[in-house]
Amino acid sequence: MDLSFTPEEEAFRDEVRSFLKEKLPARLSNKVAHGLSLTRDDMVEWHAILNARGWLASHWPEQYGGPGWTVVQRSIFEDEMARANAPRIVPFGLSMLAPVLIKYGSEEQKQHYLPRILDGTDWWCQGYSEPGAG
């Protein structure tokens, strides 16, 4: 079994590397590399950079604002993000709420919330409560 990347996948890796080299602010990658806390403004800035390129929601279908990547492309993207010390993408709206909304939400809900998650208008969180503990 040949697990080598195809020429197209290698070209995609080069594209991601070039993008990160050009667009990832050094102060953000330095914070990540040194384990420093990122501010909300840092996250908003990186979120906007990725969204402008269409790469913020790498696992979303194209019809809802994702890039329509294959599983291999998503893996390459995540790999290169880690190598470049790029900030992790805030997961709550993009990775926790949106997939459920895409699968089970009404079209009206999708049209209202998904663009607001992508452009950073809405930030989501997840709350937990334990019986007898709050």
- Distance, in Å, from the CA atom of 53 to the CA atom of 81, rounded to the nearest integer, reads 14
Domains in the chain: boundaries? 7-89
pLDDT, tens digit, for every residue of 17-33? Answer: 999 999 999 999 999 99
Cα–Cα nearest to 94, from 72, 70, 74: 74
pLDDT, tens digit, for every residue of 30-81? Answer: 999 999 999 999 999 999 999 999 999 999 999 999 999 999 999 999 999 9
What is the DSSP track for 102-119?
HHHS-HHHHHHHHHHHHT
And the tokens for 29?
């990658």
Note the pTM of the prediction, 2 decimals: 0.88
